[in-house]
Amino acid sequence: MAIRQRKVKLKRFLAVIVLGGLIALEAGLLEGFLPYEWRHAIHQQSERIFPSERYDPHPDMDWEFELDYRQHPWHRAVMYGFRGILVVGVGYLILRTGRVLSQLKSVSPPH
């Protein structure tokens, strides 16, 4: 019986880690739907909190994409469509993981 409880706890722990990763991925995907100015401001604020080593193969890559999207609105529509499919897929995985967590919670006996 103790081995089964350990397996359930391990599965629950792994499901929580997967859920956290999926939520972070979903937040990153949803950030892509924000206007360029907002994304840029969020990135600048996150650099203050989590400074990272500077790597600039192309320093204004986001702005280059924004200029392309303004010149060719179809490119933005394709990008939003692809990103939307990814958001729906990750959202589905979040729901499935949440269901697994709730099932694992009901399986393990209270302490």
- Return the pLDDT at 111: 56
Distance of alpha carbon 93 from alpha carbon 61, whole angstroms: 30
Q: Residue ranges of the domains in the chain?
A: 2-49+61-107
Distance of alpha carbon 51 from alpha carbon 48, whole angstroms: 6
- DSSP H helices, the chain, are 2-31, 36-49, 61-71, 73-107
Residue 59 structure tokens: 């320093």
List pLDDT tens digits, range 23-70. 999 999 999 898 888 888 888 888 888 887 877 777 788 888 889 999
Confidence of residue 108 (pLDDT cuts 50, 70, 90): low
